[in-house]
Amino acid sequence: MIKKLLFTLLTFTALNTYGQTETVTIDWSFGSNSDVMPATAANNTDRTIEVGDTVVWNYYATGTHTVTSEAGSAESWDSGLIASGSGVTYSKTFTTVGANAYVCTPHNGNMYGTITVVADGTLSSPQFDAPTKFSIFPNPSTNVMNINIPMLTDEGLKLEVFNVLGKKVYVQQLSKLSSSVNIAKWNSGLYLVRLTSPDQEITLTKRFVKL
């Protein structure tokens, strides 16, 4: 009887853990972007969430802004222009695993971020031990793009680079924590740098500017 009760309790706990959805809020105004420090700041615009979670963008200051997905994102959306004001928000529930780079279209130079969506239960699982972010430097750059990863999965990660039209311009398999890519012959402009695991459960994206 005790074993049966224990099994029932563990099953109920597991269902609750993997069935819950979360809502995260991002402060959205001039200067809200991926580079805000510390990374835990409310207006740092990068978040890693699970399938079914909702992101709320809080128009906390001034201006009229959009929340618009960029080419190559796992999901596509456009909030349209929304004027800031007390209590003004835009929200989206994400249903597809993958990376979603987004911008404010009138202010894409200083309002941008990435929502990374992982499988349901991934973040609540104690055995989850995989990179949740990476760094690119220098950024912007003219000749070389250096990529640092805090840790690697056993299978490594695939590096892909896309231009603003969503066309893949570079691909490489990463098997070490630090890698360098020669970009001297690339066209100047904005690129999306994406890292993915073979099972697609890890997808990380950053913006990169080639001078």
CATH value of 135-210 in 2.60.40.1930, 3.90.950.10, 3.40.50.300, 3.40.50.720: 2.60.40.1930
Contact 52, 130 (CB under 8 A): no
* Helical H segments across 83-156, by residue range: none
Using DSSP's 3-state secondary structure scheme, residue 13 falls into helix
Q: Which residues of 127-143 are buried (b: 16+ CB within 10 A; e: fewer)?
A: eeebbebbebeebebee
Mean pLDDT of 146-159: 80
Mean pLDDT of 49-73: 95
Q: pTM for the complete prediction? A: 0.57
Q: Do 21-118 and 135-210 show the same overall fold?
A: yes
Which tokens sit at 94? 């994400």
Class of domain 21-118 (CATH, top level): mainly beta
Give pLDDT tens digits for 121-143.
767 544 334 556 788 989 899 99
Q: Does the pLDDT of residue 102 top 60, yes or no?
A: yes
Query: What is the residue extent of each domain of the chain?
Result: 21-118, 135-210
Give pLDDT tens digits for 88-100.
999 999 999 899 9
